[in-house]
């Protein structure tokens, strides 16, 4: 998909979607996904397969026994979650390794997992939710690659993403939420995921959802997961505010979120 015309005049390159993810997207687009083909595609890239296996066997996914192959991972977790892990690793690989980016990638994996699981439980498009969580901060990686000498100072100077967006817009003419949405579009993510990445900073700051009702559910999950990860005490109030805006049942959302919090705490106690 083309990059937003407003970004074409900016001297900021958006990395191309890795070939492995292009091929994986084609497999996932099939109405009847070939699980063997998905496993074989991931296993054909040794570095990618190794990273996927490490992620699958982390405590976050809570599997009772150690998974020995990508095919086992697909069987136990399902195509969507293995594809999400694969996209996470592909996104990492699109940018140079940097210590400043590691917290972003760590949050991406955790947030994608939580949003995907919430979406699955609540009947929201789980793949759109998972991918929106993974890509939420990807615009920061784009700006880091563009200005590695200056951008780390911007990250350190801001107390919130809303403040960071203002600093970015002043320095680069674009903020990471808008730039991240452009990357999502160029990589072929669905409209609900793109909209969530584009609007998540404002939504998390104001608890107000924007856009067509059909796309608000994924954005609502972004706001809810942010509360889970940053301020669990606010979760009841956050859910009460945003769930109705996305036509989600407040009680069911809160129950699902609390259950996931328990799983997250258990994973943390085992050391991810």
> Residue 4's CB: how many other CB atoms inside 10 A?
17
Q: pLDDT by residue (tens digit) across 181-239?
A: 999 999 999 999 999 999 999 999 999 999 888 889 999 999 999 999 998 899 999 99
Residue 64: per-residue pLDDT: 67
Residue 55: per-residue pLDDT: 81
Checking if the pLDDT of 272 tops 70, the result is no
Checking if the pLDDT of 91 tops 60, the result is yes
Give the chain's mean pLDDT.
89
Residue 1: per-residue pLDDT: 38
Residue 74: per-residue pLDDT: 82
Q: What is the largest CA-CA distance in the chain?
A: 51
Query: pTM for the whole thing?
Result: 0.87
Q: pLDDT by residue (tens digit) across 146-174?
A: 999 999 999 999 999 999 999 999 999 99
Cβ pair 203, 223 in contact under 8 A: yes
Structure tokens at 223: 């706001």
Closest CA to 248 of 204, 201, 200, 209: 209
Going by the DSSP 8-state scheme, the letter that residue 124 receives in this structure is S
Q: pLDDT by residue (tens digit) across 23-60?
A: 888 888 887 888 888 889 888 888 888 888 888 887 77
H/E/C letters for each residue in 27-74? Answer: HHCCCCCCHHHHHHHHHCCHHHHHHHHHHHCCHHHCCCCCCCCHHHHH
Rounded distance, CA 204 to CA 194, Å?
A: 16
Checking if the pLDDT of 3 tops 50, the result is no
Mean pLDDT, rounded, for 83-89 = 88
Checking if the pLDDT of 2 tops 50, the result is no
What is the DSSP code string of 181-246?
A: HHHHHHTT--HHHHHHHHHHHHHHHH----S-HHHHHHHHHHHHHHHHHH-GGGHHHHHHHHTGGG
Domains within the chain, CATH numbers bracketed: 18-93 (no CATH), 99-272 (1.10.3210.10)
Rounded distance, CA 144 to CA 242, Å?
A: 32
Residue 270: per-residue pLDDT: 64
Checking if the pLDDT of 255 tops 70, the result is yes
Mean pLDDT, rounded, for 89-104 = 92
Mean pLDDT, rounded, for 94-107 = 92
């Amino acid at each position: 998909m083309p990059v937003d015309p407003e970004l074409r005049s900016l001297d900021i390159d958006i990395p191309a979607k890795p070939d492995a993810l292009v091929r994986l997207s084609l497999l996932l687009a099939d109405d009847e996904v070939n699980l063997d083909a998905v496993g074989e595609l991931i296993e054909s890239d040794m570095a990618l397969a190794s990273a996927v296996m490490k992620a699958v066997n982390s405590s976050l996914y809570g599997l009772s026994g150690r998974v020995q192959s990508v095919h086992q991972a697909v069987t136990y977790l399902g195509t969507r979650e293995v594809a999400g892990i694969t996209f996470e690793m592909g996104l990492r690989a699109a940018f140079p390794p940097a210590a400043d980016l590691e917290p972003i990638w760590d949050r991406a994996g955790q947030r994608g997992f939580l949003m995907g699981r919430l979406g699955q439980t609540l009947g929201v498009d789980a793949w759109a939710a998972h991918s929106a969580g993974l890509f939420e901060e990807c615009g920061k990686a784009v700006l880091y690659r563009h200005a590695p000498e200056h951008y780390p100072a911007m990250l350190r100077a801001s107390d919130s993403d809303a403040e960071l967006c203002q600093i970015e817009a002043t320095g680069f003419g674009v903020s990471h939420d808008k730039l991240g949405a452009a990357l999502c579009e160029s990589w072929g993510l669905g409209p609900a995921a793109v909209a969530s990445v584009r609007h998540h900073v404002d939504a998390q700051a104001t608890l107000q959802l924007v856009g067509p009702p059909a796309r608000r559910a994924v954005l609502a999950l972004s706001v809810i997961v942010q509360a889970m990860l940053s301020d669990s005490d606010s979760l009841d109030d956050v859910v009460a505010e945003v769930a109705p805006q996305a036509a989600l049942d407040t009680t069911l959302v809160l129950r699902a979120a609390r259950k996931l919090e328990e799983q997250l705490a258990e994973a943390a106690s085992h050391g991810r």
